[in-house]
Amino acid sequence: PPPLPPWQIVRERRATFAATPAQNALRPGPVTALKNLFLAGDWTATGLPATIEGSVRSGDRAADLVLAANPEKRP
Ligand SMILES: Cc1cc2nc3c(=O)[nH]c(=O)nc-3n(C[C@H](O)[C@H](O)[C@H](O)COP(=O)(O)OP(=O)(O)OC[C@H]3O[C@@H](n4cnc5c(N)ncnc54)[C@H](O)[C@@H]3O)c2cc1C
């Protein structure tokens, strides 16, 4: 195989929040007290640590809730 390009490993301990049980208990779901405001992001209760997959999953879920609240906007 061709040689690998130059690479390096970067370790950043504070890149994300610590996914401890105590911190996980603080993560909110997508629904808020306001009917036209939904939360998304890796910091919400995604069931995953702070990852791209968690943020994408939460964005999909929030978008589904927006469409369910506004069926006339569904494509
Ligand atoms: C160094 C590092 C390495 C990582 N490596 C990986 C990895 O290998 N794999 C992986 O799955 N995840 C990795 N992650 C985690 C991943 O990047 C995050 O989980 C993901 O990007 C979160 O996406 P998000 O959309 O929830 O939030 P973000 O990507 O943080 O997006 C939030 C956005 O909101 C904007 N914003 C903030 N405040 C305001 C405001 N008041 N008004 C308007 N805009 C605002 C910010 O500028 C930002 O663009 C890494 C994170 C870091 C920091």
pLDDT digits (tens, 9 = 90+) for 15-35: 898 889 999 999 999 999 999
Estimate to the nearest angstrom the gap between the alpha carbon of 74 and the chain centroid.
Answer: 23
Q: Average pLDDT of 67-71? A: 89
9 belongs to a structural domain: no
34 belongs to a structural domain: yes
40 belongs to a structural domain: yes
Structural tokens at position 69? 């609240």
14 belongs to a structural domain: no
5 belongs to a structural domain: no
What is the distance in A from the centroid of ligand 1 to the CA of 36?
23
3 belongs to a structural domain: no
22 belongs to a structural domain: no
How many distinct structural domains can be found in the chain? 1
Is the CB–ligand 1 distance for residue 56 below 6 Å?
A: no
Range of the domain at 61: 29-73
Residue 3, phi then psi, degrees to nearest 5: -65, 150
Buried b / exposed e over 45-71, threshold 16 CB at 10 Å, is bbeeebeeebbebbbebbeebbeeeee
Q: What is the pTM of this model?
A: 0.86
What is the distance in A from the centroid of ligand 1 to the CA of 50?
9
When the pLDDT of each residue in the chain is averaged and rounded to a whole number, the result is 93
12 belongs to a structural domain: no
Ligand 1 atom closest to Cα of residue 41: 26
